[in-house]
Structure 1
Amino acid sequence: MVLLGEKPRLGDRVEISRGIYCHWTIYVGDGDVVHVTSTDEFRRNSSFCSSSATSNKAVVKREPLRDVMGEDIAQVNNKCDMKYQPRPVEEIINKANKAVGKEVNYDMVCCNCEHFANFLRYGFPRSEQAAKGLSWAGLVGLLIILKGNFKAWLHFHNLCQSTG
């Protein structure tokens, strides 16, 4: 486990480098993060994305950062704070904890772990990884991203609003 740079603070986005992609989490304290991950233990521990392209379901979990990182490298990455106003820390933590244990729709392009972490921190889902992956598709890619971002926002908004 290698944590580069500063130690995470409540509400920070933690980026975990997994080679060809990054996994995104939100730090919620006591060494734990909340993140979207596969319900399948094999896929979760493999080098592929949190939930494979063949699965459209994932779960929100609260787990120790060291367990989620495994042998990978992680760092606090709040670079979007320069562009977007983060929510208050209490709101980030509250919404993250409300989502724990819930099954979510998963799509690598429209509704992934980075969308979820950004939704919690900034109030809207956004994935630079997905956008970069679709950049070659031009306008078609942009339309897919916009549709997906709205779909993800609505999904995560409803998820974090429900109780129990």
Structure 2
Amino acid sequence: LPAPEMADGRSEPQPGDLIEIDGTLHQHWALYVGHGYVIHLTPLGKGTADRKHPGDFLGCSGSPVPEFIRRVKKELLVDVTVNNKWRVNNESDQRHTPLPVEKILSCAAAYIGREVTYHSFGSNCEHFVKKLRYGEGVSEQVRGA
């Protein structure tokens, strides 16, 4: 199924919401933690896997290197999205029960500043934020690839 239209980012996300950000090849995902901030995976700037490929949005595209490291950062949503469209996407709530918001936020906060392994087709930015929301990694992006 095609992805729904991206919103213009005008709806107000709530803490614990998943944010899907429009990208050229793949979507980038973040977790909204409140007061305008999100937690998401960012490139470290090491090696060929972290170089900017055409159409690569924050390193979440299908890189030619299958495994590399990302840093978890807390940043303003407006800084992460730049001029890209975004939307709240909690559609996996239909198949998975979200953890309590307090648990989602405390788990997310514990990851800030940490480095995590990233695979384009196994443990990506979508898996990361969905693991925080549901307690397990889920990726519709990989399933549809």
TM-score range, shorter chain: 0.7 to 0.9
Larger radius of gyration: 1
Please list, as runs of the form range in 1=range in 2, the aligned pairs for 1:140-155 lying within 5 A after superposition.
none
Structure 2, unmatched stretches of 5+, are 1-7
Residue 137 of structure 1 corresponds to which residue in structure 2? none
**Aligned mate of 1:24, from 22, 29, 38:** 29
Residue 70 of structure 1 corresponds to which residue in structure 2? 82
Q: Distance in 1 between matches of 2:57 and 2:121?
A: 11
Moved >6 Å (runs of 4+): none
Q: Distance in 2 between matches of 1:45 and 1:68?
A: 18
Q: Give aligned-pair identity as a percent.
A: 37
Higher relative contact order structure (alpha carbons within 8 Å, sequence separation ≥ 6): 2
Please list, as runs of the form range in 1=range in 2, the aligned pairs for 1:77-156 lying within 5 A after superposition.
77-133=89-145
Is contact 1:33–1:62 with CA below 8 Å preserved after alignment? Answer: yes
Q: Which letter maps to 1:100?
A: I
Structure 1, unmatched stretches of 5+, are 134-164
Higher share of residues assigned helix: 1
Judged with a 3 Å threshold, the aligned counterparts in structure 2 of structure 1 residues 46 and 60 are, in CA distance, closer, same or farther, namely: farther
Q: Which letter maps to 2:69?
A: K
Is contact 2:16–2:105 with CA below 8 Å preserved after alignment? Answer: yes
Q: Which letter maps to 2:9?
A: L
Residue 55 of structure 2 corresponds to which residue in structure 1? 47
Q: TM-score, normalised by structure 2?
A: 0.82
Is contact 1:92–1:121 with CA below 8 Å preserved after alignment? Answer: yes
Is contact 2:24–2:57 with CA below 8 Å preserved after alignment? Answer: no
Residue 18 of structure 2 corresponds to which residue in structure 1? 13
Deviates more, 1:90-99 or 1:38-47: 38-47
Q: TM-score, normalised by structure 1?
A: 0.73
SS in 2 for 1:14: strand
